[in-house]
Structure 1
């Protein structure tokens, strides 16, 4: 059995943390593309283009080619959205992890290490809109190390840290396409308290929904 250690972030972990974050976010591109295809406006556009070209050209080839190009363009649009989010995150808190999480009160960043290799991350910091809560962020575990209980341990680390500092709850945000994350958080006792579409135009077009979860620490007993 591999030896798993949860420890606080060190500056030498920067590259590993960024790589884990980038790979973890990129994994959701296929499911986000499928989410886009399931939206009624997307299906309507594809159907209208196909029918219009089928009627005007009297040929299967042109409409099929057009729909194929539209699908390829839609996938590139999803890739672009994710790349923008990754770039923004790498330039913000992940470019200065120590300054954002380690040097401030009631904030921290942890890594999961297996046999000397960083394989998972999680962080927390005060939430501006919920002063009584800390927000769990940057949860990610390398795919090849999942199923070992690392994510659960990282979640519990944040809960213990939050409780020790006297906060009432942990909150977090996850997306409609992160179904495995939703199952994990619900298994850990989090309750879904609201959902909303990301306000950016691209997210509205794709109906990209976020879920807010809350873990009430007054009900979360260590003995459970």
Structure 2
């Protein structure tokens, strides 16, 4: 196993960081499609369309074709939702990591590097919703380097950064389909505090929920 080094982000990492994030996010499209198919509404629509077409056309071909098209359309909608999210993330902070994460004193961005390549990323910013918390963002580890404890180390670095700066804890959001991430965060001691629908219209339709987690890093003594 090649040595992995953890360090602060540098300007020359920009393209690699964006690639790790984009590829990592795109990996959730298939599981999101499966999530859609498990929704009662989706099953009902597919069932009704199939039965209605089967009854009216007396042929199996048309209903099968229609269902195939609906599934393809659904996948396109899910892909669109992810593409939009990736683009928003790039616009918000990943196109200008230095200004967003490295210049402000209470923000930071780290990378895990192996053989001269970025294989993992994480950043943190003061939470917009609660001044006592830092928000963990852009956690991503390349598929080829998972299972080596990289994400856990990146998580610990954010917690340590929060502790050193006197924050009460770290909060983050992940989605219902990111089951590996949920397991990781729960293993690291994060507690689930709420679940809510993503603001996107498509997300609302397919019941694509986001989960908020909190990790308390230290107790303030009066």
TM range (shorter): over 0.9
Distance 1:132 1:180 in 2: 27
**What is residue 79 of structure 1 aligned with on the other side?**
79
The one-character-per-residue Cα deviations of 1:121-143 (angstroms, maximum 9, x if unpaired) are 00001001110000000000000
Aligned length in residues: 219
Distance 2:93 2:188 in 1: 26
Aligned partners of 2:78 and 2:202 also within 8 Å? no
Deviation at 1:218, TM superposition (A): 2.1
**What is residue 5 of structure 1 aligned with on the other side?**
5
TM alignment of 1:148-163, pairs within 5 A: 148-163=148-163
Deviation at 1:117, TM superposition (A): 1.4
Distance 2:90 2:215 in 1: 27
Coordinate RMSD, CA, aligned: 0.9
Aligned partners of 2:176 and 2:209 also within 8 Å? yes
Distance 1:212 1:43 in 2: 28
**What is residue 62 of structure 2 aligned with on the other side?**
62
Deviation at 1:2, TM superposition (A): 2.1
Deviation at 1:149, TM superposition (A): 0.9
Deviation at 1:200, TM superposition (A): 2.2
User: Are 1:109 and 2:90 counterparts?
Assistant: no
Structure 1 residue runs of 4+, over 2 Å off? none
Distance 2:6 2:187 in 1: 20
Distance 1:53 1:146 in 2: 46
Distance 1:202 1:60 in 2: 30
Q: State TM-score, norm by structure 1.
A: 0.96
- The answer for unaligned runs of 5 or more in structure 2 is none
